[in-house]
Amino acid sequence: MLQKNAALNPGCESAFSFAPSNIALIKYWGKRDELLRLPGNDSISISMGHLGAEARISITNSSDHVFTLNNKQLAPDSNIARRTSQWLDAIIANDKLKFSVAITMNIPLGAGLASSACWFAAICKATARLFAWNISNKQLSILARLGSGSACRSIESGFVHWHAGEDPNGMDSYAENLNITWPELCVGVVMVDAKEKKVNSTEAMRSSVETSPLYSSWASESCNAKEKLLAALSVNNFSVFGEVAENNAIAMHNIIETSDPRISYSLPGTVTVKNKVRQIRDNGVGVYFTQDAGPNIKLLFLNKDQHLLERVFPGLIVVSPFAHNYNSITVSASS
C-alpha cells in the first residue's frame, strides 16, 4: 500500500518501538467499514503508561512472516499471526519481503486489555523505522488502524481522540493527542480472568450493529458523552469524568448483551468487582470503572486513593499515565 519499492533504512537491519496499550473512556463500538476498520463514532482513550508492547522487526529469509510473543513462536495460523501477516502484506505491498517480528508484551493477549492496540501500534512504528518512512503520527495512526481499530489510539500517549471521520477511504479517521495532562490521574487494572476471549470484538460489534435494539442511539449518545468528557477534562472535574466514562462502558455492554444471540463479556468476578466499586464510592471514595470486550475491569481514580484501593483490590496493577515519559521503556514479558 505504501512501499511499492521498499528500501531499508540505510544501516538499519532491525528496528524496534514501544507502544502503550490504551483504554477507551468513550468507547468505539461498531464499524461503518470492516475492511478499513472505520468506526461509527468518535472515541477517547487514556494510554496505559508502561503497559504495552515492544516490537522488534527485521527482514527474514523464511518463506513466511515469523512472529514471536515473549520469546515463544506463534503458530502461523493463530488469529493474531494471520491478521498481522495480512496487515504487513497490505502495508508493504511486496509479497517477496518476509519479516521476523518479535513482540514483548506485559499484558495478556485478547483479554480485553487492548493488547491488539499496542501490538499493531508497536509493529507499525517499528516498521516505519525499519524503512525510514518520513511520515506523521497521523499517517502512522491511519496505518495502525488497518490492523486493529483501537491501535490508531496507541501511536500517541496520554489522552487521545480518535476522529471517526466521514471519508469512505478512511483518510480522515485517525487519532490525535488531546494535549491535556492530569498527573494525579491513575488507572488500575483488576484482573478477573487473563484467558483469551471467545468472541472477538469485530464479531461482537457486527452482531451489535445488526441485532441490538439499543444500537440505533449509540452514535448520538456517545457523541453527547464525548462532549461532556471533554468539558470535564478541560477543568479536571474528576467526578464528572469518572461518571461519564463508567456510564459509557455500561451503555456499550447493554448493547452487547441485548444482541441476538446474546453475548456477554462479564464473568461473576466482573460483577463482584463492579459492585465493590459502587459500594466504596457510596462510602465516599472517588473511584469509577470501565470495561472493554473482556471480563477485566479498569478503575479510574486519583493517586491520593491508590493505597486504599490497593488494599480493597489485592493485585491491582496501577498505571500513572502522566508520571513518566514512556516512549523509550523496556518491557518485561507478562507471566
Residues in contact with ligand PMV by CB under 6 A are 24, 27-28, 43, 114, 116-117, 148-150, 201-202, 292-293
* HSE (side-chain half, CA atoms, 13 Å) at 50: 13
Between CA 234 and CA 246 the distance in angstroms is 18
Beta-bridge partner residues of 33: 38
In the complex, minimum distance from the CB of residue 303 to ligand PMV, in angstroms, rounded to a whole number: 24
Q: How far is the CB of 253 from ligand PMV (least distance, A)?
A: 9
CB of 222 to ligand PMV, least distance (A): 10
d(CA 168, CA 157): 27
CB of 5 to ligand PMV, least distance (A): 31
Residue nearer to ligand PMV on the CB measure, 104 or 248: 248
Output the smallest distance, CB 115 to ligand PMV, in A: 9
**In the complex, minimum distance from the CB of residue 282 to ligand PMV, in angstroms, rounded to a whole number:** 27
How buried is residue 63: exposed, middle or buried, by Cβ count under 10 Å (0-12/13-18/19+)?
exposed
> Quick one: 24 or 232, whose CB is closer to ligand PMV?
24
Identity of the residue, 117 or 124, whose beta carbon is nearer to ligand PMV in the bound complex: 117
User: 220 Cβ partners below 8 Å, 6+ apart?
Assistant: none
In angstroms, give the least distance from the CB of 314 to ligand PMV: 26
Whole-angstrom distance, CA of residue 87 vs CA of residue 92:
8
105 phi/psi in degrees, rounded to 5: -135, 140
Using a CB cutoff of 8 Å and minimum separation of 24, what contacts does 249-255 make?
249/27, 249/289, 249/290, 249/291, 249/292, 251/214, 251/218, 251/221, 251/222, 251/225, 252/27, 252/29, 252/218, 253/291, 254/214, 255/29, 255/208, 255/212, 255/214, 255/215, 255/218
Residue number, 114 or 233, with CB nearest to ligand PMV: 114
Residues 6+ apart with CB under 8 A from 153: 22, 24, 43, 45, 47, 117, 141, 160, 162, 175
Residue nearer to ligand PMV on the CB measure, 59 or 267 = 267
Q: Are 15 and 120 in contact (CB under 8 A)?
A: no
- Nearest by Cα to 41 from 214, 196, 160, 166: 166
By the 8 A CB rule, do 50 and 334 touch? Answer: no
Closer Cβ to ligand PMV, 83 or 129, answer by number: 83
Please identify, using beta-carbon distances, which residue of 44 and 277 lies nearer to ligand PMV: 44
Q: Which is nearer to ligand PMV, 15 or 143 (CB)?
A: 143
Q: Smallest distance, Å, CB 81 to ligand PMV?
A: 16
- Please give the Cα distance from 25 to 23 (Å, whole number): 6
Closer by beta carbon to ligand PMV, 148 or else 312: 148
Least Cβ distance, residue 150 to ligand PMV (angstroms): 3
